[in-house]
């Protein structure tokens, strides 16, 4: 990408400020504020719609390239008590997960161009080196093992010019000695590093004073690190390995189990040497003492004294600000973007939502844009897409080649992807370019159609065309403010793929419905995963894919989230059934042709007959659409099932079935040794349109498919899908009883 950027928040209220960060290979670029209505350029639809708005931020800006430095580590600045010119001992447990990726430092200290580091080198050896350019080094003869806890110890006596490395395995092997050790001379670099920055999980800071970053970042777990003044003897090292404590002065005993949602690493040994977490490594993970008997880290913190570092972790790109925008009081609630353009055709959009003033609704209905789902899918690459061609016949791996080249360069990925060491991406941040799920023009490579934000603009466009007054809010406001943000509205419309929900969001939605709120659920595969946000900034999300259909799973024992301590996974897997709230559960995923709905006899029930005013017995959505080519119910679909929580009084008013073998059941519905579980044979793989009442004149209408809104614009918005949605929106927006029936 020659031109890209990000903002520090994805939604603002009037009077609030949004900061913008841009990286440009061009000498200059232009900024325009635009209102986004429709971003899908597909000629079968209405095309791109955006309105330029006059703004103080509009104009030309000087371009400059801003780099990204991924990789997590612990930084310790207050190291004055350690006399590196004398003697010291560092000991820790390590569990490397990708030593083959090149040099990776475990522990280092540098100051003024001098220093030392303890690292796994390119030949998988444990190596201690000193001085600029490794003027002297010691290497163990035994290779480091992968995915196994190992004890390492470094003893340095700078005055004597000596150093010793010790490496011990915890698992018996007849081919490996119990202890591997090496001694060597230290010629330079250690004494001059005294008082300098100390790092755990990285080799040295990047040579860029404008932002934080480090080189030679570690992949794997580090646990129970300790630092002693003086050189430990062999007997003392042996005692430390067995869990004892030497008599030598303990300078630092870092507590890696302390408040895993935070960034502080305290020193239990006393003053100084407190650490600070950089780039959100994975915490609340099992350590070298984990027995397998405890799975909730807060019940046995001594078994979770470890952190999983990755060389591609990223909490914040930390770019310098290019411009800022304060939302004026007269800017109508809606979807906007800063449009970036360059002379050579380079472009990007930095979208954001303007919410109504806090505590004040400016319309009867509100669209809840699923920003947590945008973050979860942000920059998804899903390795091996070409190998899935038999299941994804519409895929186009060449889509957005520039964007994906940029993402690969900086290791920017989604929660559907894996780290460089093969472990799952449990943390993702909005403080970085998000070039897939949060761009108005984006098309998903798996099926060559809009997805997430770009698909949600289909709904925004329809509301504009129908003249329906609406506010826009996001998951982030719902998470922060709870049910209070929903109360002013007669009805809430979901986005098209509202898959990820925090505990606070789920509680707010349930409270809204219990108090008479009405929900128009336009999503498939919605309310599926539990995701949590960091409490401090709410810019980083955490996910642990313990259950459900997923592309990765956490290690055993690592299933509880650092952000809040909840068990990760699906809501159904936690016993909090999705269908209790929205009436359906996820039942199928497919990537070819969609299907139309067929009305059921229940659609004529007086309780819900208003839904089909002006609609006959014809198939619903049996025409070309903007996702999967034809048929309005496709991609990810849901079914009603009273055994899975659907209220007994719910009405299935229409259903789409007859899917191909490219539609598969979710993992939780698949039973071993049972054939014929695909869409062609399994009656559970269907999309159900559901209606049911909730207390105090509330109600839920659920379409049960991600792609429903892609049919709204067909035939100039004059079609039965559009008519059904308009019937529901206008009736749900009207106060009072829906029908008088119960």
Residues 516, 694: Cα–Cα separation, whole Å: 7
Query: Whose CA is closest to 166, among 178, 177, 176, 152?
Result: 152
Residues 742, 49: Cα–Cα separation, whole Å: 42
For residue 444, the 8-state DSSP code is B
pLDDT at 740 over 60: no
> What does the pLDDT read at residue 62?
97
> What does the pLDDT read at residue 468?
98
- Taking all residues of the chain, what is their mean pLDDT, rounded to a whole number? 93
Which band of pLDDT confidence, cut at 50, 70 and 90, is reported for residue 187? low
| Neighbouring-strand partners of residue 447 | none
Question: Could you tell me if 584 and 494 are in contact, meaning their C-beta atoms sit under 8 angstroms apart?
Answer: no
pLDDT at 527 over 90: yes
Question: Could you tell me if 108 and 156 are in contact, meaning their C-beta atoms sit under 8 angstroms apart?
Answer: no
pLDDT at 266 over 70: yes
Question: Is residue 738 domain-resident?
Answer: no
Whether residue 534 sits in one domain with residue 642? yes
User: What's the distance, CA 146 to chain centroid?
Assistant: 27
Q: Which of 300, 334, 352 is the last residue of a domain?
A: 352
Residue found by looking up tokens 């060491």 in the block: 421
Find the mean pLDDT for residues 100-111: 94
Which band of pLDDT confidence, cut at 50, 70 and 90, is reported for residue 153? very high
Q: How many domains is the chain built from?
A: 3
Which band of pLDDT confidence, cut at 50, 70 and 90, is reported for residue 680? confident
Measure the CA dihedral 511/517/520/526, to 10°.
Answer: 0
Question: Is residue 742 domain-resident?
Answer: no
**Cβ-based neighbour number of residue 518 at 10 Å:** 26
Q: Report CA torsion sign: 703, 641, 497, 486.
A: positive
Whether residue 440 sits in one domain with residue 520? yes
> What does the pLDDT read at residue 742?
38
- 676 φ/ψ sector (left φ>0, alpha ψ -120 to 50, else beta): left
Question: Is residue 46 domain-resident?
Answer: yes
pLDDT at 721 over 80: yes
Question: Could you tell me if 366 and 472 are in contact, meaning their C-beta atoms sit under 8 angstroms apart?
Answer: yes
> What does the pLDDT read at residue 211?
87
Domain range spanning residue 400?
Answer: 353-733
Whether residue 452 sits in one domain with residue 331? no
Residues 68, 20: Cα–Cα separation, whole Å: 16
Q: In this structure, what token pair is assigned to residue 378? A: 């942000």
Which band of pLDDT confidence, cut at 50, 70 and 90, is reported for residue 78? confident
Question: Could you tell me if 131 and 189 are in contact, meaning their C-beta atoms sit under 8 angstroms apart?
Answer: yes
In the three-class reduction of DSSP (H, G, I as helix; E, B as strand; rest coil), residue 728 is classed as helix
pLDDT at 396 over 50: yes
Question: Is residue 593 domain-resident?
Answer: yes
376 φ/ψ angles, rounded to the nearest 5 degrees = -60, -40
Question: Could you tell me if 543 and 567 are in contact, meaning their C-beta atoms sit under 8 angstroms apart?
Answer: no
pLDDT at 440 over 90: yes
Whether residue 434 sits in one domain with residue 288? no
Residues 412, 70: Cα–Cα separation, whole Å: 9
For residue 239, the 8-state DSSP code is H
Question: Is residue 343 domain-resident?
Answer: yes
> What does the pLDDT read at residue 323?
98
pLDDT tens for 267-306 read 999 878 999 999 999 999 999 999 999 999 999 999 999 9
In the three-class reduction of DSSP (H, G, I as helix; E, B as strand; rest coil), residue 114 is classed as strand
pLDDT at 119 over 70: yes
Whether residue 476 sits in one domain with residue 518? yes
Whether residue 323 sits in one domain with residue 299? no
Strands annotated E in 359-484: 365-369, 427-429, 471-474
In the three-class reduction of DSSP (H, G, I as helix; E, B as strand; rest coil), residue 436 is classed as coil
Query: Whose CA is closest to 255, among 280, 279, 282, 222?
Result: 222
Give Dmax (Cα) for the chain: 93
For 706, how many CA atoms within 13 A lie in the half-sphere containing its CB? 31
Question: Could you tell me if 104 and 311 are in contact, meaning their C-beta atoms sit under 8 angstroms apart?
Answer: yes
Of the candidate ranges 26-40, 153-167, 222-236, 720-734, the one whose mean pLDDT is the lowest: 153-167
Measure the CA dihedral 576/579/584/590, to 10°.
Answer: 0
Q: In this structure, what token pair is assigned to residue 561? A: 């989230």
pLDDT at 741 over 50: no
Find the mean pLDDT for residues 14-41: 98
> What does the pLDDT read at residue 183?
75
> What does the pLDDT read at residue 640?
98
Whether residue 59 sits in one domain with residue 130? no
Whether residue 283 sits in one domain with residue 161? yes
**Core vs surface per residue 342-364: b (16+ CB within 10 A) or e:** beeebbbbbbbbbbbeeeebebb
Helical H runs in 572-659?
A: 578-582
Q: Report CA torsion sign: 70, 74, 77, 79.
A: negative
User: What's the distance, CA 319 to chain centroid?
Assistant: 20
Q: What is the CATH number of the domain that holds 280?
A: 2.60.120.200
Query: Whose CA is closest to 644, among 551, 593, 715, 573?
Result: 573
In the three-class reduction of DSSP (H, G, I as helix; E, B as strand; rest coil), residue 55 is classed as coil
pLDDT at 138 over 90: no
> What does the pLDDT read at residue 18?
98
Q: Which of 294, 329, 352 is the last residue of a domain?
A: 352
pLDDT at 545 over 90: yes
Q: What is the CATH number of the domain that holds 348?
A: 2.60.40
pLDDT at 47 over 70: yes
Find the mean pLDDT for residues 465-472: 98
Residues 352, 53: Cα–Cα separation, whole Å: 14
E strand or H helix at 407? helix 401-409
Of the candidate ranges 189-193, 573-577, 582-586, the one whose mean pLDDT is the lowest: 189-193
> What does the pLDDT read at residue 135?
56
Whether residue 636 sits in one domain with residue 561? yes
Q: Report CA torsion sign: 563, 569, 571, 574.
A: negative
Distant-in-sequence, close-in-space partners of 422: CB < 8 Å, separation ≥ 6: 97, 98
pTM of the full structure: 0.95
> What does the pLDDT read at residue 184?
72
Whether residue 600 sits in one domain with residue 649? yes
pLDDT tens for 706-718 read 999 999 999 999 9
Which band of pLDDT confidence, cut at 50, 70 and 90, is reported for residue 671? confident
Whether residue 727 sits in one domain with residue 641? yes
pLDDT at 693 over 70: yes
Question: Is residue 739 domain-resident?
Answer: no
Whether residue 361 sits in one domain with residue 260? no
Question: Could you tell me if 436 and 414 are in contact, meaning their C-beta atoms sit under 8 angstroms apart?
Answer: yes
């Amino acid at each position: 990408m020659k031109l890209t950027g990000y903002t520090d928040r994805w939604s603002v209220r009037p009077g609030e400020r949004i900061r913008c960060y841009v990286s440009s290979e061009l000498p200059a670029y232009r900024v325009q504020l635009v209102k986004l209505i429709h971003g899908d350029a597909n000629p079968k639809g209405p095309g791109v719609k955006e309105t330029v708005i006059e703004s103080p931020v509009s104009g030309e800006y000087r371009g400059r390239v801003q780099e990204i430095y991924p990789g997590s580590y612990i930084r310790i600045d207050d190291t004055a008590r350690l006399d590196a010119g004398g003697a010291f001992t560092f000991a820790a447990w390590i569990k490397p997960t990708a030593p083959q990726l090149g040099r990776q430092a475990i522990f280092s200290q540098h100051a003024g161009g001098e220093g030392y580091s303890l690292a796994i080198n390119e030949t998988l050896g444990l190596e201690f080196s000193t001085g600029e350019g490794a003027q002297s080094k010691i290497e163990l003869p035994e290779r480091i093992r992968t995915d196994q806890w190992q004890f390492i110890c470094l003893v340095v006596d700078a005055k004597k010019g000596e150093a010793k490395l010790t490496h011990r395995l915890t698992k018996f092997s007849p081919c490996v000695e119990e202890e591997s050790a090496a001694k060597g001379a230290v010629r330079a670099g250690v004494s001059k590093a005294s008082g300098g920055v100390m790092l755990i999980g990285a080799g040295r800071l990047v040579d860029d004073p404008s932002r934080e970053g480090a080189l030679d970042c570690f992949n794997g777990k580090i646990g129970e690190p300790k630092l002693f003044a003086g050189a430990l003897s062999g007997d003392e090292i042996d005692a430390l390995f067995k869990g004892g404590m030497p008599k030598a002065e303990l300078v630092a005993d870092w507590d890696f189990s302390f408040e895993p949602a935070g960034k502080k690493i305290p020193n239990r040994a006393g003053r100084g040497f407190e650490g600070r977490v950089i780039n959100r490594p994975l915490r609340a993970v099992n350590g070298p003492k984990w027995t397998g008997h405890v799975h909730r880290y807060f019940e046995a913190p001594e078994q979770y004294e470890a952190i999983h570092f990755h060389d591609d972790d990223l909490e914040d790109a930390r770019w310098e600000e290019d411009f800022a925008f304060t939302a004026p009081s007269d800017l109508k609630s809606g979807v906007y973007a800063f449009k970036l353009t360059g002379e050579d055709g380079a472009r990007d959009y930095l979208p954001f939502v303007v919410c109504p003033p806090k505590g004040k609704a400016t319309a009867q209905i509100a669209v809840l844009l699923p920003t947590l789902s945008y973050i979860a899918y942000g920059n998804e690459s899903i390795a091996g897409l070409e190998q899935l061609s038999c299941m994804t016949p519409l895929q186009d791996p060449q889509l957005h080649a520039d964007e994906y080249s940029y993402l690969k360069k900086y290791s920017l990925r989604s929660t559907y992807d894996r780290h460089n060491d093969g472990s799952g991406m449990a943390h993702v941040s909005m403080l970085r370019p998000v070039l897939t799920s949060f761009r108005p023009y984006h098309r998903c490579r798996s099926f060559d159609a809009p997805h997430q934000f770009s698909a949600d603009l289909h709904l925004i466009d329809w509301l504009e065309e129908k003249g329906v007054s609406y506010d826009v809010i996001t998951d982030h406001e719902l998470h922060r403010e709870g049910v209070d943000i929903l109360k002013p509205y007669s009805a809430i419309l979901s986005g098209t793929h509202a898959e990820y929900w925090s505990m606070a969001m789920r509680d707010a939605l349930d409270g809204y419905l219990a108090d008479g709120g009405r929900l128009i659920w336009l999503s498939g595969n919605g309310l599926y995963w539990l995701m949590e946000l960091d409490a401090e900034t709410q810019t980083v999300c955490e996910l642990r894919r313990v259950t459900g259909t997923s592309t990765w799973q956490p290690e055993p024992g690592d299933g509880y989230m650092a952000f809040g301590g909840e068990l990760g996974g699906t809501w159904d897997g936690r016993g909090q059934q999705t269908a209790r709230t929205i009436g359906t559960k996820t039942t199928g995923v497919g990537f070819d042709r969609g299907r139309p709905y067929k009305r059921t006899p229940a659609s004529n029930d007086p309780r819900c007959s208003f839904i089909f005013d002006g609609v006959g017995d014809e198939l619903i959505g049996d025409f070309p659409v903007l996702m999967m080519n034809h048929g309005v119910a496709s991609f990810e679909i849901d079914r009603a099932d009273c055994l899975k929580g659907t209220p007994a009084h719910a009405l299935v008013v229409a259903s789409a079935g007859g899917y191909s073998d490219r539609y598969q059941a979710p993992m939780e519905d698949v039973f071993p040794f049972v054939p014929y579980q695909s869409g062609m044979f399994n009656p559970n793989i269907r999309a159900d349109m559901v209606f049911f009442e909730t207390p105090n004149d509330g109600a839920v209408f659920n379409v049960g498919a991600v792609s429903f809104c892609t049919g709204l614009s067909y035939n100039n918005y004059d079609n039965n899908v559009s008519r059904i949605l308009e019937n529901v929106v206008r009736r749900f927006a009207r106060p009072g009883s829906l029908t008088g029936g119960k």
